[in-house]
Amino acid sequence: MNLLFDVSTCVRATSKFSECTKCVDICPVNTIEIVDNIPAFTPSACTTCGGCVGVCPTESFSLSGFSSVEFFFKFLEEESSELVCQKDLYSCLSVLSVEHLIAMAIASDNPVAIDVDACSCGGESPKLQEQLRLNIEEANFVMSTFSDKEILIKNRNSEIEKREEEVKVASRRSLFSLKGAIKSKQAFEEAVDADELKAFGIELSDISKIKNRVIPDKRKLLFSVLKRLDKPESYEVLATEDINFTSQKFVDESCTNCQICYRICPTGALSSDSKFSLINFDAMLCVKCHLCHDVCEPNAIQLQPGFEIKEFFEPSQRVLATFDLKRCNECGNYFTYHGGEQICMRCKIEEEEAIELHELARTRNNV
Ligand code: SF4
Ligand code: SF4
Ligand code: SF4
């Protein structure tokens, strides 16, 4: 199993203003670092625990040979109810996001139990175990607003059978021994490559992909499970800090309609019309990647203090802002009118520059 990275879906490739460090923060062996604003990692140091896969809002990291969607259907088919790190998965269970956990708990006929204490995937670092606990707690909290399903947290002293053998982190690490590997030139080169920091540049082929709006599989999975549930009689509102995989927003009056947020939102949660006269928002498409906040210069886009569970069952597209578009008196193009002279920003700047040049020429001539 190898760690794979798709630079075209990482929010850092979309904008240099992105401050996302979720993958860097979760990595228990600290092998992910930011190089030229893009995540980079050393393959031989990676334990393929999948922590970064689980936390990445846009699913930019993945593990070769592992599909969370296939895992979901296999879990249901086998009518399993208990999950144990490294027994049920060749990676850490923290590879499963809150969305996966909710989808599994709801779709499963049996109560799902997770042996959290069995997770030793982070070695000395408790980061993954903590993340797994946080994911379960968040999944349970969100589910408690519309379902009586709950993921049980089991510990070592519980009735869950102990794993037959303790798998040590070191044994999972792809310690590609050079000694044994020098069987062929290719194997040697692979071993050397694995020890080098793998940095990712943005190729020409990535640029068109960056512009694509991609809804992560985990969101599609959650949505298809929720669609099959009966709607609750009433809907609750969660505090925004209690839900980390989606959000609701508002836009305040400082918005200049610079268009950046809805042009770069990776999933299309933010959008506009053909004239760019408004900002639309779909909470069910938002992955809370924070990119729109990172790029908004006046900080006009903000998190709504509460998240309405109603969005899970009756997804809506809300209009966050509308703009008064007028034709510029100078160039004739449409622009966002904020009052005063009916002239667009570009013409205004050009006019100011022309006045400055004129003043300069006049001063020189007088001298
Ligand atoms: S989008 Fe994913 S890969 Fe990119 S910096 Fe954030 S967590 Fe890392
Ligand atoms: S909310 Fe911010 S980023 Fe979006 S259009 Fe308005 S000013 Fe630009
Ligand atoms: S609305 Fe903002 S936080 Fe949500 S997916 Fe789009 S850019 Fe990310």
Residue 343 class from Cβ within 10 Å (0-12 exposed, 13-18 middle, 19+ buried)?
middle
**Ligand with minimal distance to 61 CA:** 1
Closest protein CA for atom 1 of ligand 1? 10
What pLDDT does residue 175 have? 31
Q: Kindly state if the Cβ of 256 falls inside 6 Å of ligand 2.
A: yes
Evaluate: CB of 255 within 6 angstroms of ligand 2. Answer: yes
Dist. CA 44 → ligand 3 center (Å): 33
Q: How far is the CA of 255 from the centre of ligand 2 (A)?
A: 5
CA of 296 to the centre of ligand 2 (A): 5
The predicted model scores a pTM of 0.83
266 vs 32: CA distance, rounded Å: 22
Q: What pLDDT score was predicted for residue 196? A: 79
Which stretches of the chain score pLDDT less than 50? 159-182
**Torsion over CA: 175, 181, 186, 189 (sign):** positive
Q: Which of 290, 299, 317 for a ligand 3 pocket mutation test, highest count of atoms within 8 Å of Cβ?
A: 290
| Per-residue pLDDT, 187 | 59
**To test the ligand 1 pocket, which listed residue (5, 7, 9, 10) has its Cβ within 8 A of the most ligand atoms?**
10
Which CATH code is given to the segment(s) 230-323?
A: 3.30.70.20
Q: How far is residue 163's CA from residue 87's CA, in Å, rounded to a whole number?
A: 7
Residue 291 DSSP class: H
Q: Is 287 close to ligand 1, i.e. is its CB under 6 Å away?
A: no
Mutate to test the pocket of ligand 1, among 15, 20, 34, 97 (most ligand atoms within 8 A of CB): 20
The ligand 3 atom at the shortest distance from the C-alpha of residue 261 is: 7
* Mutational test site, ligand 1, from 58, 62, 200, max ligand atoms within 8 Å of CB: 58
What is the structure's pLDDT at 257? 93
Q: How far is CA 75 from the centre of its chain?
A: 24
The span from the CA of 96 to the CA of 114, in Å, is 12
How far is 226 from 107, CA to CA, in rounded Å? 9
pLDDT at 185: 53
The minimum-distance atom of ligand 3 relative to the CA of 293 is 2
3-state secondary structure of 187: helix
Instruction: Supply the pLDDT for residue 87.
Output: 65
Tokens of 177: 């021994």
Binding site membership of 20 for ligand 3 (Cβ less than 6 Å): no
Q: How far is CA 53 from CA 7, 23, 62, 67, in A?
A: 13, 8, 5, 11
Which numbered ligand comes closest to the C-alpha of 265?
Answer: 3
Phi, psi of 298 (to 5 degrees): -80, 5
- Give the whole-angstrom CA distance, residue 136 versus residue 233: 25
What Cα–Cα distance (Å) separates residue 311 from each residue in 57, 239, 248?
19, 14, 9
Q: What pLDDT shows up at residue 181?
A: 40
State the distance from the centre of ligand 2 to the C-alpha of 40, rounded, in angstroms. 30
Question: What long-range pairs does 64-70 form, CB within 8 A, spacing at least 24?
Answer: 64/1, 64/2, 64/3, 64/4, 65/1, 66/1, 66/90, 66/91, 66/95, 68/95, 68/96, 68/97, 68/100, 68/217, 68/218, 68/221, 69/217, 69/221
